[in-house]
Structure 1
């Protein structure tokens, strides 16, 4: 009931504050409906989802390899350097990535991965550093070697938290998708549509597209949360 009241108040304020520049809720809803009925929209949406999921897959592999190996002294400094890379802005590195990649698809993918991995590593290293020393001591008592300890305490023991980090970082990749798609528009994507309609000052459709992006992100957040509870049912009690 509270949510319904808050939504109603928001729509009322939006309707009241709308002027010639800000589209009214009814117009945005109509544009939203028209978008969902077009093949062009769904083609571009699938392109964006495919690129995002591919970037997440590569980011997960890179992150887990270096984060798991960070318990070894040689790889710890590498993982710490990857954490510091989150302060690098993509704007100044686009030219370098353009030289290193062969086409627009690789450029977008590499930029997404570079933008996701530092935050992914940061989150996962915080999980590793918060592990109780007693868990390591228990493995030593049981006679486990370093690799067995790594598997039991971190890989298996923290699998549920890895999935939660994946859920949180999906939001970062979905937020960045429109930016990287604006760099190479040949393959389309939701970001390409945003730039196209923004160029012609069609604010109503732009706001409708923003609603699509927002709702899609919420759906994936719910889906990943549901999968986590299914895979790790004990986490729902935390």
Structure 2
């Protein structure tokens, strides 16, 4: 048992389950203790369960669907933009554009919404493009790093097979790194999902999980807020699990 406290120690499946179970029990115990008494840090489990019931009766499933649809539209656009500029960054004249897009990740949310509000009148479209800007900047950064990490031997091998420059781009960078692209999208998807609640507050009439949290916070309903945080975390982890499962299913020999 003492091996679980040693760095780089390989442990069995049963030991791993015991460790996970112990941490879950510790977190639940801390939650129960911190929610006792008149002044408490967190709402009680009963308040959270009541929050779940209230949220479900108010159409929680519909709001989750609205958030997922917003997220999906933003992801599709961001992935297309990022892949387009990243793959073409192998052309010297396009590379500065890709690098500039990567540097835009330092822009604050206020600045982005200010300029987008000038260009876009529809609030729902504005929500999509705020998420697109956020994800495409981080996604481009990760994809550029992916390309720069490709060994020179792979390019040399493709050239030795009489591949032209565009064929090298297709075979080595595009086809040869599809599994890495899926992994990069999976990692950067967390940024979109994290920003979703903030972005949805731009247009509360469209609904979504952001609207529910903003509404719950307005009335200081902490039970509902914690319930929503659990829902958001659960949905985000589910998306992450599905993408990781698909990557492993379609690319079984991936080294990631």
Aligned to 1:29: 49
Q: 2:83 aligns with which of 18, 39, 64?
A: 64
Aligned to 2:24: 7
Instruction: Give the CA deviation at 1:30.
Output: 3.6
Instruction: Give the CA deviation at 1:25.
Output: 2.4
Q: Determine which structure has greater relative contact order: mean sequence separation of CA pairs < 8 Å that are 6+ residues apart, divided by chain length.
A: 1
Paired residues, what number? 236
Aligned to 1:45: 64
SS at match of 2:94: helix
Aligned to 1:81: 100
Task: Compute the RMSD of aligned alpha carbons.
Answer: 1.3
Following the alignment from structure 1 to structure 2, what is the Cα–Cα distance between the partners of residues 198 and 21? 16
The one-character-per-residue Cα deviations of 1:6-28 (angstroms, maximum 9, x if unpaired) are 11111111111123562012321
Aligned to 2:73: 54
How do 1:193-212 residues align onto structure 2 when only pairs under 5 Å count?
A: 193-212=212-231
Following the alignment from structure 2 to structure 1, what is the Cα–Cα distance between the partners of residues 174 and 114? 37
Change (3 A) 1:49 1:209: same
Following the alignment from structure 1 to structure 2, what is the Cα–Cα distance between the partners of residues 222 and 57? 19
Instruction: Give the CA deviation at 1:77.
Output: 0.5
TM-score by length of 2: 0.89
Aligned to 2:127: 108
The one-character-per-residue Cα deviations of 1:208-230 (angstroms, maximum 9, x if unpaired) are 00000001111111111101011
Following the alignment from structure 1 to structure 2, what is the Cα–Cα distance between the partners of residues 33 and 222? 26
* Contact in 2 for aligned 1:120/1:165 (Cα 8 Å): yes
SS at match of 1:14: helix
Aligned to 1:136: 155
The one-character-per-residue Cα deviations of 1:120-148 (angstroms, maximum 9, x if unpaired) are 00111111001111111112222211110
The one-character-per-residue Cα deviations of 1:68-102 (angstroms, maximum 9, x if unpaired) are 00001011110110111111111123121111112
TM-score by length of 1: 0.95
**Structure 1, unpaired ranges of 5+:** none
